[in-house]
């Protein structure tokens, strides 16, 4: 994939693609012109004596301290060193690759005042797969993700650590092996590298892409469970959704109708002998719950798409005039504050937690013989075999953890920097929580697919609707029917990895697009 960075049109799909090696990254020619113009302005200010934040002053509460011209390089280096205070496990290689792309795109916007050569070095690291070690904890999302971005910048100056060719090594060694030279930062460049929301954005964007797949898989899993429980298709009628009007609900119901079309199981219980009057909410209200999650994810996507192309530096360098800013203006503001992203990522966690909780209730419906009319825990010779008893327990444990993590981080705030940063977003905390909830959702939905496949086996020779049937057949191509107890963690792991294929196969059979 060839990705041209302009600072204005980067997509989340491109961020997801760059999380894996192989993409070719370029800076748009017009973006290079803007970068050069902004740098000329910074150089001009650095040569003068007028105090300008981030160029010839200290940082944060120390903004009133003027720095002599001879110390400006040391000022920027000290900023990177002092702000590299992160702790904890490193972000994944994919997350750091996404972080590097997002930061390069911000710098390409031409509002940061960085040198073109420094931007090129950042892109060079990404293309040659020199991936800095970035601890996941240490950001409060106020002046952006200061600590994570500082750890990224360490490798640019030949410090810190990085992965290269699968090995963890000192940053300077990684640069040498990749044929790259460290940079000596000039005025404002250190600040341009650490101010911004790109760490929370990177983790959040990758989590969102996975969450969107989970939302689609939730519909497939629900369709299989509806068939396994001989549930009614009537709650998915278009008329019911139309009189409420929520777009996500309408979309989910339409998808369920397509996934359940031509169901032999449904046809078998449409006469007067069917004893059911109403299904439990976890089946009947799937359009309402899944749909609300879809609408929430759509909001999160809009927010993250904007943020991926946002100028989040401070101060901002306006080389060209705007309606209210004269050409050649450097102005401090608050675009680094992570509240929009933090709030959206808290909603992401809430939406995925809801997908999990309703999925876990459907698993309970399947394994409970008093609710399903099927053998206890779907086990052959139950008693001797426990079947899927503990699969439901695991789904419950995952849902419980996700409900705890769904408590919002964005409403918390601990002032920092001697009270100058007196309201913070906790955006990185929101991102890390959301990442965990999405991962839990993947596992929980894999469990539902596994258990629902067993239920559909027990409904044979009757066949499920076309989409549910296709998913069932694909699952059975890799995971056999359980005749006797076995290590279920292996089956769950296989299903987790199969989720993209199951999603595609079921939707293709039902005539649906992604």
pLDDT digits (tens, 9 = 90+) for 398-435: 999 999 999 999 999 888 887 778 889 999 999 999 99
Contact 416, 337 (CB under 8 A): no
Contact 456, 227 (CB under 8 A): yes
Active site residue 53: yes
Which has the closest alpha carbon to 104: 93, 92, 116, 95?
116
Picking from 170, 196, 222, the residue at the C-terminal end of a domain is 196
> SS3 for 82?
helix
Residue 486: Cβ within 10 Å count: 11
pLDDT for res 52: 79
Does residue 65 sit in the same domain as residue 122? yes
Does residue 209 sit in the same domain as residue 168? no
| Residue 387 belongs to a domain | yes
Residue 100: which domain range? 2-196
Per-residue b or e along 246-259, where b marks 16 or more CB atoms closer than 10 Å to that residue's CB: eebbbbbbbbbbbb
* Catalytically annotated residue among 6, 34, 35, 53: 53
| Residue 187 belongs to a domain | yes
Picking from 196, 231, 249, the residue at the C-terminal end of a domain is 196
CA–CA separation, 426 and 413 (whole Å)? 7
pTM, two decimal places: 0.95
Write out pLDDT tens, residues 442-471. Answer: 999 999 999 999 999 999 999 999 999 999
pLDDT for res 129: 95
Does residue 156 sit in the same domain as residue 11? yes
Rg from Cα positions in the chain:
26
| Residue 514 belongs to a domain | no
Q: Is the dihedral of CA 121, 126, 129, 132 positive or negative?
A: positive
| Residue 325 belongs to a domain | no
Does residue 166 sit in the same domain as residue 209? no
Residue 153: Cβ within 10 Å count: 29
pLDDT for res 93: 97
Does residue 175 sit in the same domain as residue 223? no
The residue written with tokens 């992570």 in the block is 338
pLDDT for res 63: 65
Q: Is the dihedral of CA 339, 342, 346, 348 positive or negative?
A: positive
CA–CA separation, 420 and 62 (whole Å)? 10
Alpha helices, H only, 234-308: 238-242, 247-260, 264-267, 281-284, 286-308
Which residues, given as ranges, of the chain have pLDDT below 70? 60-61, 63, 271-275, 277
Picking from 196, 231, 261, the residue at the C-terminal end of a domain is 196
Does residue 158 sit in the same domain as residue 270? no
| Residue 350 belongs to a domain | yes
Q: Are strands 87-90 and 135-137 parallel, antiparallel or unpaired?
A: antiparallel
Does residue 270 sit in the same domain as residue 141? no
| Residue 19 belongs to a domain | yes
Contact 159, 171 (CB under 8 A): yes
| Residue 490 belongs to a domain | yes
CATH number of the domain residue 428 falls in: 1.20.200.10
Which has the closest alpha carbon to 281: 218, 220, 235?
235
| Residue 328 belongs to a domain | no
CATH number of the domain residue 63 falls in: 1.10.275.10
Element (H, E) at 395: helix 389-405
Does residue 141 sit in the same domain as residue 212? no
Contact 99, 198 (CB under 8 A): yes
Question: What residues pair up with 140 in beta bridges, in sequence order?
Answer: none
Does residue 382 sit in the same domain as residue 303? yes
Does residue 33 sit in the same domain as residue 180? yes
pLDDT for res 419: 75
Does residue 170 sit in the same domain as residue 298? no
How many independent structural domains does the chain possess? 2
């Amino acid at each position: 994939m060839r990705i041209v960075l302009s600072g204005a049109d980067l997509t989340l799909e491109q961020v997801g693609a760059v999380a894996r090696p192989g993409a070719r990254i370029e800076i748009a020619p017009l973006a290079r012109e803007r970068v050069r113009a902004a740098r000329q302005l910074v150089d001009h200010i650095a040569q003068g004596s007028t105090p300008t934040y981030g160029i010839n002053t200290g940082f944060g509460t120390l903004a009133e301290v003027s720095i002599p011209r001879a110390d400006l390089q040391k000022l920027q280096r000290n900023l990177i060193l002092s702000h590299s205070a992160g702790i904890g496990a490193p972000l994944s290689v994919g997350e750091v690759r996404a972080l590097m792309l997002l930061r390069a795109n911000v710098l390409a916007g031409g509002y940061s005042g960085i040198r073109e050569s420094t931007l090129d070095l950042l892109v060079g690291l990404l293309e040659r797969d020199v991936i800095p070690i970035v601890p996941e904890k240490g950001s409060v999302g106020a002046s952006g993700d200061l600590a994570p971005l500082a750890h990224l910048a360490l490798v640019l100056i030949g410090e810190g650590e990085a992965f290269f060719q699968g090995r963890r090594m000192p940053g300077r060694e990684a640069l040498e092996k990749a044929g790259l030279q460290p940079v000596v930062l000039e005025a404002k460049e250190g600040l341009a590298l650490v101010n911004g929301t790109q760490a929370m954005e990177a983790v959040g964007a990758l989590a969102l892409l996975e969450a969107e797949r989970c939302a689609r898989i939730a519909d497939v899993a629900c369709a299989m469970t509806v068939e396994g429980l001989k549930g009614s298709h009537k709650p998915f009628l278009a008329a019911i959704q139309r009189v409420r009007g929520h777009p996500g609900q309408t979309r989910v119901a339409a998808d369920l109708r397509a996934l359940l079309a031509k169901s032999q199981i449904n046809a078998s219980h449409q006469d007067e002998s069917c004893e059911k009057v109403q299904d439990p909410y976890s089946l009947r209200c799937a359009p309402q719950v899944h749909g609300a999650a879809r609408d929430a994810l759509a909001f999160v996507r809009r927010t993250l798409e904007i943020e991926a192309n946002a100028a989040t530096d401070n101060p901002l360098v306006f080389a060209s005039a705007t309606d209210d800013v004269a050409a050649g203006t450097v102005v401090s503001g608050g675009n680094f504050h992570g509240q929009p992203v933090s709030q959206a990522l808290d909603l992401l966690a809430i939406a995925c937690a809801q997908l999990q909780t309703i999925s876990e209730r459907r698993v309970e419906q399947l394994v409970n013989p008093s609710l399903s009319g099927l053998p206890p825990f779907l086990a052959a010779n139950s008693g001797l075999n426990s079947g899927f008893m503990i699969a439901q327990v695991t789904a419950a444990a995952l849902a419980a953890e996700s409900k705890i993590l769904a408590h919002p981080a964005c409403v918390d705030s601990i002032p920092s920097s001697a009270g100058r940063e007196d309201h913070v977003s906790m955006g990185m905390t929101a991102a890390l929580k959301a990442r965990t909830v999405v991962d839990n959702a993947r596992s929980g939905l894999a469990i539902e697919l596994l258990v629902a496949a067993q239920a559909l086996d027990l409904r044979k020779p009757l066949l499920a609707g076309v989409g549910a049937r296709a998913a069932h057949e694909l699952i059975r191509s890799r995971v056999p029917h359980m005749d006797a107890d076995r290590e279920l963690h292996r089956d769950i792991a296989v299903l987790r990895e199969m989720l993209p294929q199951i999603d595609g196969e079921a939707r293709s059979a039902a005539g649906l697009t992604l």
